[in-house]
Amino acid sequence: MNPALRHRVEHVDTDAAGVMHFSRYASLAETAVLSFLHHNGTGLDLFQRHGTELAVTDLHIRYLAPARFRDVVLATTTLERATAATLRARADLARDTGEPLAVAKLVLCAVDTGTGRAVALPAQAARSLKGLTADD
C-alpha cells in the first residue's frame, strides 16, 4: 500500500517570492517515507517499542520545478531496499496536477535510542517490510 502524502504549501514553507524553500522538500520526503512505513505496519511506534529509532544517514534531492504558495504537493514513496539495519527509499514529490517537483532518495538506519549506534531492524519490522521493496 502506498498512499500519497498530501501537503498544501503554506506561507511558512516559502521564501519572500512565494516559492517553497528547498529545505521543505527534505522534510516532506522524510514524512512521506515515515507515513509509508506506518501504513505498512512498520511505524515509528514499532521501533520505539524495541528501543530503536530511525535516523536519516543519507539524503539526495534532485529539484525539478519549484512549488509555490498554495500549491498542493503529493509525495509518494517507494521502498527500494531493506537490509539488516537500513532502509533505502525514494520519495517522488509532484504537484497535484502531476507535474514532477523533486525526487528524494533517503537512507534510514535503525539506531539504539540509548547509544545512538546502528542496530538491526526489529524482527517484526523486517517481516512487515518483506515483499514491499522494489527489488523483491
Residue ranges of domains in the chain, CATH in brackets? 5-129 (3.10.129.10)
pLDDT at 136: 55
Q: Which of 73, 59, 56 is nearest to 14 (CA)?
A: 73
pLDDT at 135: 64
What predicted TM-score, i.e. pTM, was given to this entire model?
0.92
Instruction: Check: CB of residue 29 under 8 Å from CB of residue 61.
Output: yes
pLDDT at 125: 92
Question: How much is the pLDDT for 4?
Answer: 86
Q: Where are the beta strands (DSSP E) in 14-122?
A: 52-63, 72-82, 86-95, 100-112
Q: Are 52 and 112 in contact, with CB atoms under 8 Å apart?
A: yes
Mean pLDDT by 10 residues, the chain (136 residues): 86 95 96 94 94 97 98 96 95 97 98 96 90 73
Q: Which amino acid is at 113?
A: T
Q: Which residue has the cell 504537493?
A: 73
